[in-house]
Structure 1
Amino acid sequence: MQIRRMRIPVFVSAPSPENLNPVQTASAEMIHTLVRRYKLEWRALGRSDYPNDLPLKEVLRMIRHCSGGIILGFEQFRMTGGQVRPGSPRAGTADMSFPTPWNHLEAGILYSAGLPLMIFREPDVRGGVFDVGSTEVFIHPMPTETMPKQSRDDLDSVFQNWVAKVRTHYYGD
């Protein structure tokens, strides 16, 4: 008889797969592979769990049962030549990329729950949780299929460090 080991649930904040382009899908799959490799369970609203209640209440319920969180900051909206701080002394124009607003909400909930957090962002994504110094969590570049082997090894090391914190939270050591 084979005993199936329980996986530690971690909440992943990312757009739905149908809202990702092929490069983003490949990046998400790289993270998903690491989650599986380290015997974690990828939990996400609309992927592993489907809302029985209002989405934000469902996110709160899910996070209560998780021991860590991953934020995947994929570009979901691009503004070119947009106004920033209109009417203020620091007004100007800028080209900016934004993730799903759910990344910010879910990161705030994970952070306030005291869960180990790992944040990734695409190069042009800025604002909120993706601003350097917004939390004590280091903001990692989004992994890509074309990244060098050394960067893949570095990613694995960073992931191992985060997994140790997740396991400590789960087992209460």
Structure 2
Amino acid sequence: MAGMKIPVFVSAPTTLSPEQQLAKQLILDELDRLELEPRAIGVSDFATQFPLREVVVLARHCSGGVILGFEQFRVLKGIRKHGTPKQTEVNNVIIFPTEWNQLEAGILFSAGLPLLVFKEPGLAGGIFDLGVSDVFLYEMPKATASDAERKALASVFLKWQAKVREHYYK
């Protein structure tokens, strides 16, 4: 089987901090160890005019999806549900991922692909909410992870990749 890797869609921002890049690399190394090929619009595959359409096309050729929820936007204060009876003032930090995480997760989920979702602490909403679906949802690993944390991460990948292989071979 050497040389033949199963394609999996990886949703991640293209601009990352050095710490975020190390966490992403840790995840990509796990994919490589399991003979899974990361595919992404703008990285392994390039979009033409319509990137959303390209995501759908690429998703059809993948057998799993990995969503990497990295902070991309930070708000220090604001108003939630403005102009509604449930309007509230927010006076603490709220972080958001790239909007593409949500779009790509929705496409991958609707394609019936097994999803593995990682999120940085404090990230919430949509695919990053616990119990939103039957996806594997975990905190983003750190490059400084201990041996025990790395073994736990490997275990997470083993469970998920079993579903990826099942999808690929059916």
Distance in 2, matches of 1:84 and 1:44, equals 32
Specify the alignment match of 2:147 in structure 1. Answer: 149
Distance in 1, matches of 2:141 and 2:86, equals 34
Q: Which of 23, 26, 32 in structure 2 is aligned with 1:30?
A: 26
Distance in 2, matches of 1:158 and 1:64, equals 24
Distance in 1, matches of 2:50 and 2:17, equals 27
Residue 117 of structure 1 pairs with residue 109 of structure 2: no
TM-score normalised according to structure 1 size? 0.93
The size of the alignment, in residue pairs, is 168
Specify the alignment match of 2:13 in structure 1. Answer: 15
Residue 55 of structure 1 pairs with residue 66 of structure 2: no
Shift of 1:138: 3.4
Displaced runs of 4+ in structure 1, greater than 4 A?
A: none
Structure 2 residues not aligned, in runs of 5+: none
* RMSD of Structure 2 on Structure 1 (CA): 1.3
Distance in 1, matches of 2:135 and 2:29, equals 22
Would the aligned equivalents of 1:132 and 1:138 in 2 still touch at CA under 8 Å?
no
Specify the alignment match of 1:42 in structure 2. Answer: 38
Shift of 1:7: 0.4
Specify the alignment match of 1:161 in structure 2. Answer: 159
Distance in 2, matches of 1:86 and 1:164, equals 44
Shift of 1:135: 1.2
Q: Which of 58, 72, 76 in structure 2 is aligned with 1:76?
A: 72
Distance 1:4 1:136, change over 3 A: closer
Distance in 2, matches of 1:164 and 1:138, equals 12
Over the matched positions of the two proteins, sequence identity in percent amounts to 51
Shift of 1:148: 2.6
Specify the alignment match of 2:169 in structure 1. Answer: 171
With 78-87 and 40-49 compared, the bigger mean Cα shift is at 78-87
Would the aligned equivalents of 2:115 and 2:136 in 1 still touch at CA under 8 Å?
no
The code of the aligned residue for 1:64 comes to: R
Shift of 1:136: 1.9
Distance in 1, matches of 2:44 and 2:89, equals 40
Say which SS state the counterpart of residue 86 (structure 1) adopts: coil
Say which SS state the counterpart of residue 103 (structure 1) adopts: helix
Distance in 2, matches of 1:29 and 1:50, equals 20
Distance in 2, matches of 1:20 and 1:83, equals 27
Residue 65 of structure 1 pairs with residue 61 of structure 2: yes
Shift of 1:61: 0.6
TM-score normalised according to structure 2 size? 0.94
